[in-house]
Amino acid sequence: MPDAPGLELLRGEIDRDVPGAVLATSYERERAAFVVDPDRILDVLAWLRDEPGQGYRFLSSLHVADYLPSEPRFGVHYELINRERVERLRVKAMLADPGEDALPEIDSCVELFPTAHAQEREAFDFFGIVFRNHPELTRILLPDDYVGWPQRRDFPVGGEPVTFTYSEKRYG
């Protein structure tokens, strides 16, 4: 993965072709990351994939983090891999909480990285992030009639008690 100076050089190259898209960089625990304007996420991902000399052609992970009480509240993380150089790069887009019944939105990257199909559905299922132009944005693990977004930090904790009788019978 690029080191801290290499990350800044890469940011300069992106700024040349996609001005203003990269808002910040970070290099922590030997992990390189860009913080990107959510409205320009597809431009940056396409640049990293298609620009000669970059070759981040594999999206290994797309996941969401809820940073409540911070604002912007949600971070959509894209973990890209360049397999030829065995490099990993994280791209993060921060989304504000629109409040009330509205859901945060960002463009889908399924057209760029087909591996994002199920991962975007999972992010929608658990966090309520809407991926615009996703070919099949429906719940993937929870029932269709489930109400709420269980991985959000403000989701009520509780529910029905579960009895684990198998262990009690076998080991009790």
State the pLDDT at residue 172: 54
State the pLDDT at residue 12: 94
Q: Give the pair of three-digit tokens for residue 28.
A: 């922590």
State the pLDDT at residue 29: 86
| Spatial distance between the Cα atoms of 165 and 88, rounded to a whole number of angstroms | 44
User: Within a 10 A sphere around the Cβ of 3, how many other Cβ atoms?
Assistant: 11
State the pLDDT at residue 40: 98
Q: Per-residue DSSP letters for 43-76?
A: HHHHHHHHSTTT---EEEEEEEEE-TTSSS-EEE
Q: What is the pTM of this model?
A: 0.88
| Spatial distance between the Cα atoms of 51 and 113, rounded to a whole number of angstroms | 15
What are the CA-CA distances from residue 87 to residues 39, 119, 170 (Å)? 25, 21, 47
Domains of the chain: 4-171 (3.30.460.80)
User: What average pLDDT values come out for the chain (172 residues) when binned by 10 residues?
Assistant: 82 95 91 95 97 95 96 97 93 94 96 97 97 95 89 80 55 55
